[in-house]
Structure 1
């Protein structure tokens, strides 16, 4: 991990000499403002120009559990899901960075990510950044200093590449947070939860047998109403039963329901497949991150 700054400011001036108050950002002038964290991912490097809050773990405080109410109406002080809100808008109400002062932002620290396809979006809670890396690796990073708090690297079967689309086995766009858990789907077709403070495994559940119904878990889940919703990119080799959307209990990992996206004979939508035999129907994946409407209690995924 390296720290740097541009212009005449030194890294120590920005990080320690003029430390922003809690919830603050630091402009190049050294003047603190309030409540913003910015992350930029490019070429395998996580670059943070602005720090949200001092690390809760570094101060001995606990990471506050995330509630369903917070996920429905998140505070602008944290970034609790892929596009911040359940509707997937990706909009932040913060306004401290604007057209006039954005030119004054300076790099405070950067940290290399694990090799692979970089499509991940970090979550932030109480000054801790949770970053999905390629190849089923998740890191917890101090958002103020860039220091690694913990890293979880899932053991992947040696024959995974024999059954999966090889270029997608590195992709991990998104993770979810609920309660004290960081939740993700894995390339060996499991869903699992880690403790947010330690990175230790809390539960894991097999969604599919990747040797029978392979499906690429590239998008990651969202959580709403205590349920973890996830879709996947289904492989033709996996047959219709690999093309599913699932819901799991966020606290235990127990499967609540699954919805196959390819209808069997006699099911609604069967007529749209004409004379194609059921076992030859394929390529109806739901590989993007879901969104959710709490008023209608509907999940949207495509």
Structure 2
């Protein structure tokens, strides 16, 4: 592994002494679910076992909570995961991100809090609605922490829903202050994931406008900040774009550090309460597919950064992508686990990525658990651009999805369909690596670069789940090709030299082309199939769940995420063929939760990865050891949020958000009779 000071910095030897006294991340405790990811380490694990393989077939809907009237228009893609503390569910709902408290046993609404932010809320760049953070001093002071769409931090009394007067100004902290650059207009910065609280410090990330065709190379930086949970006072700022004299500043050439923005942490964060560390996945700098205005490695873009939660001091970091022009930012929540590798106990953090890698580090020191190699990658020929000569490749675990495209990856239901897929492939520039740069549209007679996975992932915000008792990680991913090129920026719309285009798709046998609308980053790719006869270009499975043992780095099993989508099964091109599509997988990420006895997943929303028809209504219980389906049941709509589970009055519940195009979002509570 090539180690450069600006790319990997481990903790000092003093930190090594701390490793021996740490406790495992144990998932949700006491039958509750106090964190977005069950615990601060995002394991999405609960040790509850009242619902098990023997009775899971008896699951039924016991109550429903509808979100129709929360906000001026209904929400259809509700990515929320509720918290459950003391018999009460807490969550956000609607386009204004109202906070709601609900009786966990009955679904009865207890109270709600609504903050109308006006234009700043209406124009928020990311309206995703994932939930809240919770804090208590254990002596009666219990608070919910909300980051609003318009980027304000609100502290509410968990009992009443009323703002805490002593927190900030009347319960609210203005988050647009202190970013070095003014937020001139609404819609430049917001948040889509909850904050995390560690050692009485609220750590807040941010979410920015999409980087496909940004209006300018100049943007607000998404600094990470810590606030006192009692007063709201800002304690520290970690500048994800280093200033002169700060570590990593030399990785920004010229004066690009002055104007480049983004580098936010929009995915959920992770924390280790005993260490007092927070683990921050930082996104791509402005813009996602052209970096000629920001030459250099661009720390701390595309990095996993470990910070001291009390001070904001960087403890260690690892840059997962150097000078990203693929939008390969770490978009999944880091997961903490205590594992044993070669007889050595390690306090680990695992980061799964869009390009289907799993980077595993000692979470105390930042040292890789298995070697990470800097390997040569293809170079760009776009004017003004300069790519890094190498990129990091983990040697273990193996990628959990396909990377790069060859003829072996193409749809092969019939020889004729395979031949057409090969013809279509000839319109694109391809590589066996995920680091093929985007070409100029039409260069050398090619429409664009063809990527696998898609620039939205592989893995994305749902990430995975982790069983802390075994060290086995379960990750969901999508196998969906992406055609990306660059075109000159229109001076009337942007000062970027080049912006992304998703170009023409030669999907018809006649050679006619279709123009696909560019996807919105973090939203549905909305892309039609551009393979033979309107089928996917890539062979199945199109959605998958993979089990990986983090003690060994071995893959244990992989299954398709359900059957093929209806848009494939009903395609006339395969009518009459004897195809088994029962395990072809929905091209959508399965939201996962793991318990003592079972892994739970679902088809997914159909609103994120491959456009209309990619999701489904099925909710599944899966055998953790084998991947066998134990039970599946159809819900009223598609699963849009991460499932969670809890115990109230000696009864275990599973609650999940659902919705679909034209079907307003709601919470569904499941239990056995």
TM over 0.5: yes
From 206, 221, 230, the counterpart of 1:251: 230
Q: CA deviation at 1:72?
A: 8.9
Higher fraction of helix: 1
For 1:239-259, what per-residue CA distance to the aligned partner results, in whole angstroms no more than 9, with x for missing partners?
665311111111221111111
Q: Structure 2 stretches of 5 or more lacking a match?
A: 1-24, 137-141, 165-170, 178-182, 282-673
1:274 aligns with 2:253: yes
In structure 2, relative to structure 1, the CA distance for the partners of 1:123 and 1:289 (3 Å cut) is: same
2:269 aligns with: 290
1:181 aligns with: 143
Contact kept, 8 Å, 1:240 with 1:262, in 2: the verdict is no
Q: CA deviation at 1:283?
A: 2.7
2:221 aligns with: 242
From 88, 99, 102, the counterpart of 2:56: 102
Looking at structure 1, the residues matched to 241 and 145 of structure 2 have their Cα atoms a distance apart, in angstroms, of 27
Q: CA deviation at 1:120?
A: 0.9
Looking at structure 2, the residues matched to 186 and 240 of structure 1 have their Cα atoms a distance apart, in angstroms, of 20
1:199 aligns with: 161
1:27 aligns with: none
In structure 2, relative to structure 1, the CA distance for the partners of 1:126 and 1:239 (3 Å cut) is: farther
TM-score, normalization by structure 1: 0.69
For 1:52-101, what per-residue CA distance to the aligned partner results, in whole angstroms no more than 9, with x for missing partners?
xxxxxxxxxxxxxxxxxxx9985231110101111111111111111221
Higher radius of gyration, 1 or 2: 2
In the alignment of these two chains, the number of paired residues is 228
In structure 2, relative to structure 1, the CA distance for the partners of 1:74 and 1:92 (3 Å cut) is: closer
Q: CA deviation at 1:157?
A: 2.0
1:229 aligns with 2:213: no
Looking at structure 2, the residues matched to 208 and 103 of structure 1 have their Cα atoms a distance apart, in angstroms, of 49
In structure 2, relative to structure 1, the CA distance for the partners of 1:281 and 1:154 (3 Å cut) is: same
Q: What is the Cα-based RMSD across aligned positions, in Å?
A: 2.4
Looking at structure 1, the residues matched to 204 and 176 of structure 2 have their Cα atoms a distance apart, in angstroms, of 13
Q: CA deviation at 1:232?
A: 0.9
Runs of 4+ in 1 over 4 A off after TM superposition: 71-74, 159-162, 235-241
Q: Structure 1 stretches of 5 or more lacking a match?
A: 1-70
1:56-205 equivalent positions in 2, closer than 5 A:
75-113=29-67, 114=70, 115-116=74-75, 117-134=77-94, 135-161=96-122, 164-165=124-125, 168=126, 170-179=127-136, 180-202=142-164, 203-205=171-173
Looking at structure 2, the residues matched to 269 and 230 of structure 1 have their Cα atoms a distance apart, in angstroms, of 22
TM-score, normalization by structure 2: 0.32
In structure 2, relative to structure 1, the CA distance for the partners of 1:144 and 1:295 (3 Å cut) is: closer
Looking at structure 1, the residues matched to 27 and 235 of structure 2 have their Cα atoms a distance apart, in angstroms, of 24
Contact kept, 8 Å, 1:240 with 1:278, in 2: the verdict is no
Looking at structure 1, the residues matched to 241 and 248 of structure 2 have their Cα atoms a distance apart, in angstroms, of 8
Contact kept, 8 Å, 2:97 with 2:129, in 1: the verdict is yes
Looking at structure 1, the residues matched to 218 and 35 of structure 2 have their Cα atoms a distance apart, in angstroms, of 31
Q: CA deviation at 1:293?
A: 1.8
